[in-house]
């Protein structure tokens, strides 16, 4: 078990949530181009890659709430799963330390 995998995933999902929050906050900003976040696995860690979306030439914000809100739900679920894994590992290590003591 390696807790750093879970931590890297939480950090990557935090980046995704930050981009998502910025996009939603600018839903009424004219000519706003949202930031898209793509997760990638590199070895045993997860990273978030961010990029501005392509310009459609719209005078209105190009933020799509039908994409942003489900992304928030994905981040919440992934973070919850990683926190549960960390808590389980912590409990297991605590039990091992109790046995040794």
Q: What is the overall mean pLDDT for the chain?
A: 90
Q: What is the value of pTM for the model shown?
A: 0.83
What pLDDT is recorded for position 92? Answer: 81
Convert 1-58 into a string of H (helix), E (strand) and C (coil).
Answer: CCHHHHHHHHHHHHHHHHHHHHHHHCCCCCCCCCEEEEEEEECCEEEEEEEECCCCCC
Query: Can you give the residue ranges of every domain in the chain?
Result: 3-100
Q: How many residues does the chain have?
A: 101
Q: What is the pLDDT of residues 8-40, one digit of tens each?
A: 999 999 999 999 999 999 999 999 999 999 999
From its phi and psi, is residue 43 left (phi > 0), alpha (psi between -120 and 50) or beta?
left
Res 2 pLDDT > 90 = no
Q: What is the pLDDT of residues 56-72, one digit of tens each?
A: 888 999 999 999 999 99
């Amino acid at each position: 078990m390696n807790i750093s995998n879970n931590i890297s995933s939480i950090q990557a999902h935090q980046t995704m949530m930050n981009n998502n929050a910025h996009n939603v906050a600018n839903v009424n900003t004219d000519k706003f181009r949202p930031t898209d976040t793509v997760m990638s696995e590199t070895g045993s860690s997860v990273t978030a890659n961010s990029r501005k979306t392509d310009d459609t030439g719209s005078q209105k914000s190009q933020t799509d709430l039908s994409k942003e809100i489900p992304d928030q739900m994905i981040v919440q679920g992934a973070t919850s799963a990683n926190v549960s894994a960390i808590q389980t590992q912590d409990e297991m290590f605590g039990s091992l330390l109790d046995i040794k003591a």
